[in-house]
Amino acid sequence: MKEKIEEILAEIENFKAAKASDIEDARVKWLGKKGEITALFDEFRTIAPESKREFGQKLNLLKKAATDKIEQLKASGLDAIASKGAAFDLTKPGDALPLGSRHPVSIVREEIVEIFRKFGYDVAEGPEVEDDYHVFEALNFPPDHPAREMQDTFFVTDKDQSNPILLRTHTSSVQVRCMENMKLPIRVICPGRVFRNEAISARAHCIFHQVEGLYVDEGVTFADMKQAILLFAREMFGPDTQIRMRPSYFPFTEPSAEVDVSCNICHGKGCNICKGTGWLEILGCGMVDPNVLKASGIDPQKYSGFAFGMGIERIAMLKWQVKDLRNYFENDLRFLKEFETNI
């Protein structure tokens, strides 16, 4: 045992590492589970009691010498190896990692939020898993409205129980939460993900994104709404953009309208993006129905407001002429990389 200890000790003293892996190899050889020093410790258990003191000390010193040597080599190893210049060149620039790009839906969402933030709107978010009250009832949907059917809405709890839990079908539910919780006047923009029980195709998806807007104060008029939407459209699609409003119906607004912007591809001449009409539909809007204000405890005699909602994917499709909605969800790098310059 004595000779073996001296032999290893000499080896430790003379050991030199030429490359980083030599240090690890030496550690395994001496101190690994099946290493030489480890084996000596096993052998130590079997030696005569009177020799234990002497060999115990020697063995501990040997183990310490090996550990110190490894530590010392590790600490100085890179410098020593680099100064030899053989193994690798530390001054060589690394390989650049490819940068990711922002998703087109995120780019457009931030653009919309930024435009309204400049007009003084706050940003609010609400839960994606909602109850019937916030998605339908407080928004003046009658109990038998078709949007509440299973073929349109994903229910989390039994649809026939009172106030079932469901995945929100629009971000209008966040309007209700804002009216319940925020101090008047309210000027807020609510981006988020919504869910509808739709078959997936180029033009429809069961998950998509919307931005909801809401403005409630004393004396808010339809003219205020028209001006806010016109300013938004010009920021988003360019300063020459025109808008037009068509009468429409939503349970939560009265009167309601759908808004088209002049086609920014053909500038009104008619092309295949606007299907020859010169106009592109971008959002729904209207004056908040008095019943909706009342449901959230706001006095409709004193206050009025407007609301609007738009699909983010739809705006992005118009902006970049994306023809198939499924592109937004498939994470195909060839598609996503097209937006690299928009970081």
Instruction: List residues bridging with 271 in a β-sheet.
Output: none
By CB under 6 A, residue 304 contacts ligand DAH: no
- Count interface residues toward ligand DAH (CB under 6 A): 11
Which residues 143-182 are close enough to bind ligand DAH by CB under 6 A? Answer: 170, 172
By CB under 6 A, residue 233 contacts ligand DAH: no
Nearest residue (beta carbon) to ligand DAH: 309
By CB under 6 A, residue 285 contacts ligand DAH: yes
Contact 303, 217 (CB under 8 A): yes
Distance CA 17, CA 25 (A): 10
Which residues 240-279 are close enough to bind ligand DAH by CB under 6 A? Answer: 250, 253
Contact 19, 51 (CB under 8 A): no
Closest distance to ligand DAH from the beta carbon of 234 (Å)? 20
Which residues 196-225 are close enough to bind ligand DAH by CB under 6 A? Answer: 212
Amino acid letter, residue 110: E
Closest distance to ligand DAH from the beta carbon of 232 (Å)? 14
Choices 108-116, 184-192, 236-244, 301-309 (CB under 6 A): range interacting with ligand DAH: 301-309
Amino acid letter, residue 112: I
User: Which residues lie closer than 8 Å to 116 by C-beta, 6 or more apart?
Assistant: 189, 213, 232
Distance CA 243, CA 293 (A): 27
- Which helix (H) or strand (E) segment holds residue 25: the answer is helix 20-31
Classified as helix, coil or strand, 289 is coil
Provide the token pair at 104: 């087109």
What does 27-48 look like in DSSP terms, one character per residue? HHHHHSTT-HHHHHHHHHTTS-
Contact 307, 285 (CB under 8 A): yes
Choices 237-245, 261-269, 302-310, 314-322 (CB under 6 A): range interacting with ligand DAH: 302-310
Contact residue for ligand DAH among 30, 116, 308, 328 (CB under 6 A): 308
Classified as helix, coil or strand, 241 is coil
Contact residue for ligand DAH among 107, 190, 263, 307 (CB under 6 A): 307
Choices 8-16, 77-85, 122-130, 305-313 (CB under 6 A): range interacting with ligand DAH: 305-313
Place of tokens 């119906």: 249
Q: 192 or 284, CB closer to ligand DAH?
A: 284
Q: 8 or 259, CB closer to ligand DAH?
A: 259
List of residues contacting ligand DAH (CB under 6 A): 170, 172, 212, 250, 253, 284-286, 307-309
